[in-house]
């Protein structure tokens, strides 16, 4: 069964304390892996797409990496405004839908 698991469920960091969020997947064939940020009561905001193992993408304090089994979202020196829920999703080679993980709720304390 195709599955996407994110860990940890919740993460509290001090401002400036770097960390990583994990998204592991067991799917029949991966077309792409996506990271989104979601603020409370709003729709997910697109961050990154990764297509191949070894690929990396960066944006400000965020860096996403992909292996054959998982993806990491590294947050360097986070700020309070980085507080949000981070979602990962996979698009399969077959079929026409995205599968989402349940997200990691990140809180950055000043």
Partner 1 sequence: KAGVTQTPRYLIKTRGQQVTLSCSPISGHRSVSWYQQTPGQGLQFLFEYFSETQRNKGNFPGRFSGRQFSNSRSEMNVSTLELGDSALYLCASSLLATGLRNTQYFGPGTRLTVL
Q: Is 28 in the site for partner 1 (CB under 8 A)?
A: no
Q: Is 9 left (phi over 0), alpha (psi -120 to 50) or beta?
A: alpha
Question: Residues 37 to 66: which contact partner 1 by CB under 8 A?
Answer: 41-46, 49, 51
- Give 31 or 79: the residue with its C-beta nearer to partner 1: 31
- Least separation in angstroms between CB 87 and partner 1: 7
Any idea what DSSP says for residue 51?
A: -
39's CB contacts (< 8 A; 6+ apart) are: 45, 84, 85
* Segment contacting partner 1 by CB under 8 A, of 10-18, 19-27, 28-36, 59-67: 28-36
């Amino acid at each position: 069964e195709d599955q996407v698991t994110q860990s940890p469920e919740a993460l509290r960091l001090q401002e400036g304390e770097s960390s990583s969020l994990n998204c592991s997947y067991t799917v029949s064939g991966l077309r792409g892996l996506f990271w989104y940020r979601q603020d409370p009561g709003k729709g997910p905001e697109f961050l990154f797409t990764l297509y191949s193992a070894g690929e990396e993408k960066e944006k400000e304090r965020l860096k996403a990496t992909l292996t054959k089994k998982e993806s990491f979202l590294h947050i360097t020196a986070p700020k309070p405004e980085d507080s949000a829920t981070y979602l990962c999703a996979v698009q399969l080679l077959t079929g026409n839908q995205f599968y989402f993980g349940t997200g990691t709720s990140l809180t950055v304390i000043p």
